[in-house]
Amino acid sequence: MLKKVINAVIKRSRTKFYSLKHDIGKDCSFQNIKIYSEKHSIKIGHNTVILRYTELCANSNFPVIIGNNTFINQKCIIRPNIIIGSNVDIGPEVLLISDTHEIGDSNKRAGISVFPPIRIEDGCWIGARVTILGNVTIGKGTIIAANSLVNKNCEPNCIYGGVPAKLIKRLDV
């Protein structure tokens, strides 16, 4: 019983601490996450849960915005310039990698860093160990199968899977 009370106090304290630096909605739960960002560059809606060892990375030019009632499982990496809608479920070890480099000259091939956006619309389900690259929008209500690599836009209300991800099935609306 005492352990439950202590854990509840720690959970509330952690959420309040994050709220000082970021815009955090009501009734959110964070378990040992890492945040690398500038002040107010991360916005998280109400009733959102983010499990342990997940990393969020953002800055004022390239924020991370997460909607209401969203669940992010453990060991995910969420890089800058990402918008995740409401009612989204993200499996463990998902990589949302928006950052890349322009191709440089022969002295250094990794040129200037760029952050093309990633958008995951409302009601999506992203399976375990999925990688989503920049310049991708996952349409509303879409499912991405586990272990997929998404490098192109996905239509709403469909199932995608594979490396690279391809349309598997259209879902009833």
3-state helix, strand, coil in the chain (%, to 5): 10, 35, 50
pLDDT classification of 64: cutoffs 50, 70, 90: very high
What span, in angstroms and rounded, lies between the C-alpha atoms of 33 and 111?
30
Look up residue 117 and give its amino acid: P
Domain residues of the chain, as ranges?
2-170
For 2-170, CATH number? 2.160.10.10
Residue entry with tokens 């958008």: 119
Indicate the range of 14-23, 117-126, 145-154 predicted with least confidence: 14-23
Q: Does the pLDDT value for residue 13 go beyond 60?
A: no
Model's pTM, two decimal places?
0.86
Res. 3 pLDDT band, cuts 50 70 90? low
